[in-house]
Amino acid sequence: AAGVIQSPRHLIKEKRETATLKCYPISRHDTVYWYQQGPGQDPQFLISFYEKMQSDKGSIPDRFSAQQFSDYHSELNMSSLELGDSALYFCASSLDGRFGYTFGSGTRLTVV
Amino acid sequence: QQQVKQSPQSLIVQKGGISIINCAYENTAFDYFPWYQQFPGKGPALLIAIRPDVSEKKEGRFTISFNKSAKQFSLHIMDSQPGDSATYFCAAIDGSARQLTFGSGTQLTVLP
């Protein structure tokens, strides 16, 4: 069965540019989560969606926004990029948020 | 404040030895405790998980021990192999809030 699909795998952007990351959850999973992981850090929760509605919000900068679409895929939009935004961005999905979340392979964002 | 405290930060074990990673939590709303294995540049992969009404769960060489009264749980990797070298994250899920909280991670190195 297909896992959580993220695109693109790698992204290089310049400061002050905009980036859009996409996440396609496992079929029938209704909850999507976004995490940011800096080098040597544990993943930091950004935002989550349950049934296409924002469920919870973590340490997501105001420059970032996200949404979940009718087909349950989600997009993380990042504007006015800063050097400090360079990180691995992971999407995870789960069924009702109660059990083990399945993570995608991540998008490595490099801001230069 | 780290809601899930993980130790040690790094661990070096000889091939064939036992690797032990410990975690502790405070939030009694947590109701599911997964462990994730992460290789560099990859997404966290679910390794094994346990519910708080179970004291031990074993899957192959991996065992979770859970002490509900002490609010502690640990991962034991028996017969550790060089291929087990990775970063391990304990996590705790509050199912009602659909939230997953990671520990700070343990970088395991298994020497050949």
Encoded tokens for A28: 């029938």
Residue A94 has pLDDT above 70, yes or no: yes
Which B-chain residues 35-54 have CB contacts (< 8 A) with chain A? 36, 41-46, 49
B49–A97 C-beta distance less than 8 A? no
Query: Which DSSP string corresponds to B4-35?
Result: EEEE-SEEEEETTS-EEEEEEE--TT--BEEE
State the DSSP code for A58: -
A99 touches chain B (CB under 8 A): yes
Across the interface, whether the CB atoms of B99 and A45 are under 8 A apart is answered yes
- The 10 Å Cβ neighbour count of residue B70 is 8
Residue A24 has pLDDT above 80, yes or no: yes
For residue B46, list chain A residues with Cβ-Cβ distance below 8 A: 100-103
Question: Which CATH number goes with the domain that contains B81?
Answer: 2.60.40.10
What 3-state class would DSSP assign to B84? Answer: helix
Residue B84 domain boundaries: 4-111
The secondary structure element, H or E, covering residue B111 is: strand B106-111
Which stretch of DSSP H or E encloses residue A94? strand A87-94
Two tokens, residue B57: 């769960």
Query: In angstroms, what separates the C-alpha of B9 from chain A's closest C-alpha?
Result: 11
Is A41 a residue whose pLDDT tops 60?
A: yes
Count how many domains chain B has.
Answer: 1
Amino acid identity of B102? F
The predicted pLDDT at position A4 comes to 95
* pLDDT tens column, A78-92: 999 999 999 999 999
Region A3-31: mean pLDDT is 95
Task: Give the pLDDT score at B2.
Answer: 66
State the Cα–Cα distance between residues B55 and B64, nearest whole angstrom: 8
Q: What is the pLDDT of residue B1?
A: 57
Asked if the Cβ–Cβ distance from A97 to B93 is below 8 Å, we say yes
Each of the 112 residues of chain B gets a pLDDT tens digit; together they read 568 999 999 999 999 999 999 999 999 999 999 999 999 988 999 999 999 999 999 999 999 999 999 999 999 999 999 999 999 999 999 888 788 899 999 999 999 9
Q: Which two tokens stand for residue A63?
A: 């420059």
Of the pLDDT bands very low, low, confident and very high (cuts 50, 70, 90), residue A1 is: low
Contacts of A41 in chain B (CB under 8 A): 105
Q: For B89, which of A42, A98, A105 is closest by C-beta distance?
A: A42
